[in-house]
Amino acid sequence: MEKLWSGNLHAALDPVSDEINASIRFDRRIYRQDIKGSVAHARMLGAKGIIPKADAEAIIAALKDILSEIDAGSLAIDESCEDIHSFVEMELTRRLGDVGKRLHTARSRNDQVALDFRLFLRDETQDIIGKTLALLSVLSDKAEAHRADIMPGYTHMQRAQPITMGHHLMAWAMMLTRDVGRMKDALRRMNESPLGCAALAGTTYDIDRMGPALELGFDGITKNSLEGVGDRDFAVELLSAFAMCMAHLSRFSEEIILWSSWEFRFVSIDDGYSTGSSIMPQKKNPDMAELVRGKTGRVYGDLMTMLTVLKGLPLAYNKDLQEDKEALFDAIDTLKLSLNVFAPMVATMKAHAENMRAAASGGFINATDCADYLTRKGMPFRTAYRVTGDLVNECMARHTTLEDLPLEVYKSFSDLFEDDIYENISLEACVSRRVSEGGPALASVDRQIEWVRAFIGKEENPS
Ligand code: ARG
């Protein structure tokens, strides 16, 4: 296939150069955005009289045909072309002859690819935001269903204080709302059109950059032509938001894996999201959660790829930048797949309230509440902490719990203890007394759920 750039070059590329140089194998994926961008460019060329209006119209009509034929599968993308831009232009010229050859006036593949990539990332990120919101909605429903189910809260993986499953699930929800925020921030900063920066130094034609920018849904145009074609900060920002979102899914996966183990038994993962073993008939493995945890490494790697491609890269366009696409495509595919599996996996996951409660009943998880009881009766907290520590040791020596320790033993440690100690250290009391904003008390968790649902509503229907 003749190259678009064979201006002063006469000999054909060595096949191995073709192999490393060509990007059509992966950038065929952005054909829609490429054609959309070319339609806007052609319209501007016609409107400004840079090419005849009738030619612009013919180009636009042919581009639209090409798009619907690729969509329908009746036009195959020819992979002997160097990249998707070459293919679309070749196909246009095959159909329109000289008229097709006018499309590339006042444009370079450098601003073209920078434009296409932004359009593509905008579409994909919006899709990812939608999937994140769907997971948030699953989490809110699940949290509501388990708002009163007591479980141990952990620090250092040691039982710490009682919480509820609703409270715990909403923690993950809050993190995911920030992921949506980060993606939207990146989209906002990215939403400037580089079209018209041309190769690096703009163009001698009297073009209109704002018209196509607005037609393509941008808020404005990039303000420096070198930067417009040479910058990929937006790719790093999005990858970083995707990597962070994967980090959250990975940590959540780790908990689901632990919770579904025989040691915990807090949840059962539905069969649809579990696998068995080819040798051990009793096994039910949390593979999907493990894969999400494992695939997080890929997305971190994609982020590192992009950062490293940019390191030391002089302005403006350099072919290194072609390496941006596979990293982003991989991160997008991985995150989408992870979100796709996560929402139904969490939705169908069964929580075992009795097991969570049993785990919360051991481990002296109410020791802080016992100390708070003494503090409320006038003892300084640090002293109350000491007394309760001694009580816990006493319980351990007697193989009993704070709930079952007789009142006279309590009283031998402090005469502030009365019969009401037992209701004060019940798990229900421990949870319901934690009324501080953000805590596990029912009303607080309900407010968290309400806030997340309002967040989803606002994101889905921005007014
Ligand atoms: N396939 C190239 C890319 O993805 C398009 C831009 C090529 N520009 C150039 N001057 N060689 O970056």
Q: Whose CA is nearest to atom 4 of ligand 1?
A: 322
Residues labelled as active-site residues: 156, 277
Phi, psi values for residue 95, rounded to 5°: -85, -40
What domains sit in the chain, N to C, each tagged with a CATH number? 15-105 (1.10.275.10), 110-357 (1.20.200.10), 360-460 (1.10.40.30)
Q: Whose CA is nearest to atom 3 of ligand 1?
A: 322
Assess whether the C-beta atom of 317 lies below 6 angstroms from ligand 1. Answer: yes
Phi, psi values for residue 275, rounded to 5°: -125, 165
Q: What is the pLDDT along the chain (463 residues), one digit of tens a residue?
A: 778 877 888 788 899 999 999 999 999 999 999 999 999 999 999 999 999 999 999 999 999 999 999 999 999 999 999 999 999 999 999 999 999 999 999 999 999 999 999 999 999 999 999 999 999 999 999 999 999 999 999 999 999 999 999 999 999 999 999 999 999 999 999 999 999 999 999 999 999 999 999 999 999 999 999 999 999 999 999 999 999 999 999 999 999 999 999 999 999 999 999 988 888 888 889 999 999 999 999 999 999 999 999 999 999 999 999 999 999 999 999 999 999 999 999 999 999 999 999 999 988 999 999 999 999 999 999 999 999 999 999 999 999 999 999 999 999 999 999 999 999 999 999 999 999 999 999 999 999 999 999 999 999 998 7
Distance CA 255, CA 261 (A): 10
Q: 43, 212 in Cβ contact below 8 A?
A: yes
Pocket test for ligand 1, best of 87, 113, 119 (most atoms within 8 A of CB): 113
Assess whether the C-beta atom of 23 lies below 6 angstroms from ligand 1. Answer: yes
Write down the pTM of the prediction. Answer: 0.94
